[in-house]
Homo-oligomer: A and B are copies of this chain.
Amino acid sequence: MTRRLSLDPERLFPSDPVTRGIARSLYAQVAGLPIVSPHGHTDPAWFATNANWNNATELLLAPDHYVFRMLYSQGVPLDALGVPSREGPSRAEPLAAWRLLADHYHLFRGTPSRMWLDHVFAEVFKIPVRLEPDTAEYYYETINAALATPEFKPRALMERFNIEFLATTEGADDPLTHHAAIRSSGWKGRVVTTYRPDSVIDVEHEAFTGAMQRFAELTGEDVHSWAGYLNAHRKRRSDFRAAGATATDHGFATAQTANLSHVEAEALFGRIVGGTWSPQDAELFRAQMLTEMAMMSVEDGMTMQIHPGSFRNHNQGLFDRFGRDKGADIPMRVDYVHALKPMLDVVGNEPDLTIILFTLDESTYARELAPLAGHYPCLRLGPAWWFHDSPEGMRRFREMTTETAGFYNTVGFNDDTRAFLSIPARHDVARRVDCAFLARLVAEGRVEDWEAAELAVDLTYNLVRRAYRIDEAPGSAAKGVTS
């Protein structure tokens, strides 16, 4: 049996007619605004080479841990889904893998992955029927045929998607070759990088030694002296800014910061690079480096993002066989109140600094994050992240942060994705959920309709440009949209 695929034009709006009417009208004002994507994990090589993608499985299934983890949770082996392992590419036939997705597509009912995938199928590929076992092969062939056309090359899609700013994420040891190629290509698309120095800060990271070596080569600094190491960061931050970066990103297990004296920091760094560190030293060094990065942000104006709270690679057996990013990163309880204080003692009252906090622990929204962001001038709240990047997650974010932090201490939406084709779907969900939330405030007499209209545009477009200083960076035309 084949069922029709069509997206409800009023999806994610509340059923109550009054509220739905307000949401519809707010959404109409923001649905067409350009996409600003300040934080994500797309591959800059796509935009540098502008090559066509190969097939549906390689593009939409095998690299997307949001998708394959759900199938894995119900017993489907990863190698059957085309996921490469440490031993090399999967031996699965791509169409067979795609059929497994179709066979298990009901598992995604009620999940954002399902909404995003259906949006990609319906809006990007214009497929008129649902994905189910009977349509698996039709899907596979239709998608592959489309992907082979010029209209589905990365740059063409970026333009079609109306993405006016797209940030990727690179390590401190990355030569930024693809970004250089993009910038020298004459293409007008604004694809920029983000400075993520975790692998040269976290001595417990498996890649630390190699990353430090490349860090030294790329900067010409003596990265084993404290002064040289800090200088290397300054140089690379400058390189990244030249490649369009307006922000840095930091993703350790905890939010711990430190405020060591120069002498203490130098001695700690000596233990780190000297190989005599303890686990406590490793944590303290990460903590101190967050504060160092914040101080450099005061100097160079880069917005700083802190993403703590994920227990990476929780499934040891899977990690041994398949490596990182296989859907086995599990959130943990996180403390911000004590952890951030050392850094805030140093930079908390800087009005020109922007530090964006993210969480996977929703119990911190109302208890810690909104009160912190509702007080400290440098703090802003990142949007509902990862597992919480979902309609219910976004609704909880607004319900639990707005009353204490207001809307203006938030920074719009992040898609945080490597699934390029889903970017419009993800932003569309966020816009709809925000409009639904605003509509409830209007219907309940809590904000005026004209305020909600301004807020809808601010949440979609203006706040993200301000928080990530997009209009201040080279290559930007200063803009702003008003309702």
Please indicate which of the listed interface residues A107, A349, A446 has the most CB atoms of chain B within 10 Å of its own CB: A446
Interface string of A315-350 (1 = CB under 8 A from B): 111100000000111111101011001001100110
Residues of B contacting A330 with CB < 8 Å?
A: 337, 368, 371-372, 375
A8 and B333 within 8 A (CB) = no
Q: Which of B337, B366, B399 contacts A314 (CB under 8 A)?
A: B337
Q: Which of B314, B387, B391, B404 contacts A111 (CB under 8 A)?
A: B404
Q: Which of B72, B366, B448 contacts A362 (CB under 8 A)?
A: B366
Please indicate which of the listed interface residues A112, A329, A371, A388 has the most CB atoms of chain B within 10 Å of its own CB: A371
Interface string of A260-299 (1 = CB under 8 A from B): 0000000000000000000000000000000000000000
Q: Which of B348, B377, B393 contacts A74 (CB under 8 A)?
A: B377
A69 and B374 within 8 A (CB) = yes
Copies in the complex: 3
Interface string of A397-417 (1 = CB under 8 A from B): 001101111111100000000
A18 within 8 Å of B (CB atoms): yes
A206 within 8 Å of B (CB atoms): no
Please indicate which of the listed interface residues A108, A333, A344, A391 has the most CB atoms of chain B within 10 Å of its own CB: A333
A73 and B373 within 8 A (CB) = yes
The stretch among A79-87, A436-444, A475-483 that forms the contact with chain B is A436-444
Interface string of A421-457 (1 = CB under 8 A from B): 0000000000000000000110111111011001100
Residues of B contacting A27 with CB < 8 Å?
A: none
Within 8 A of B (CB), among A207-238: none
Q: Which of B15, B349, B351 contacts A315 (CB under 8 A)?
A: B349
Q: Bound state CA distance, A3 and B142, in angstroms?
A: 55
Q: Bound state CA distance, A106 and B448, in angstroms?
A: 11
Q: Which of B7, B13, B367 contacts A363 (CB under 8 A)?
A: B367
A305 within 8 Å of B (CB atoms): no
B318 and A73 within 8 A (CB) = no
Residues of B contacting A112 with CB < 8 Å?
A: 403
Interface string of A107-118 (1 = CB under 8 A from B): 111111001000
A441 and B72 within 8 A (CB) = no
Q: Bound state CA distance, A260 and B386, in angstroms?
A: 34
Please indicate which of the listed interface residues A19, A74, A362, A367 has the most CB atoms of chain B within 10 Å of its own CB: A367
A109 and B455 within 8 A (CB) = yes
Q: Which of B317, B348, B402 contacts A110 (CB under 8 A)?
A: B402
- What is the total number of residues of chain A having a CB less than 8 Å from a CB of chain B? 92
Q: Bound state CA distance, A329 and B18, in angstroms?
A: 39
Min CB gap A104→B, angstroms: 9
Please indicate which of the listed interface residues A18, A318, A374, A407 has the most CB atoms of chain B within 10 Å of its own CB: A374
A370 within 8 Å of B (CB atoms): yes
A367 and B407 within 8 A (CB) = no
Residues of B contacting A317 with CB < 8 Å?
A: 345, 348-349
Residues of B contacting A403 with CB < 8 Å?
A: 110-112, 387, 390-393
Listed A/B pairs (13) with beta-carbon separation below 8 Å: A3-B448, A8-B445, A13-B444, A73-B374, A73-B409, A106-B408, A110-B407, A314-B344, A333-B335, A391-B403, A391-B444, A392-B399, A393-B403
Query: Other than the known A363-B363, A366-B388, A367-B387, what 17 A-B pairs have Cβ atoms closer than 8 Å?
Result: A3-B448, A15-B443, A72-B377, A73-B376, A107-B406, A110-B406, A327-B374, A329-B371, A330-B337, A330-B375, A332-B338, A360-B367, A361-B363, A370-B387, A387-B404, A391-B403, A391-B444
**What are the 4 A-B residue pairs with the smallest beta carbon separation, nearest first?**
A8-B445, A11-B445, A75-B351, A15-B443
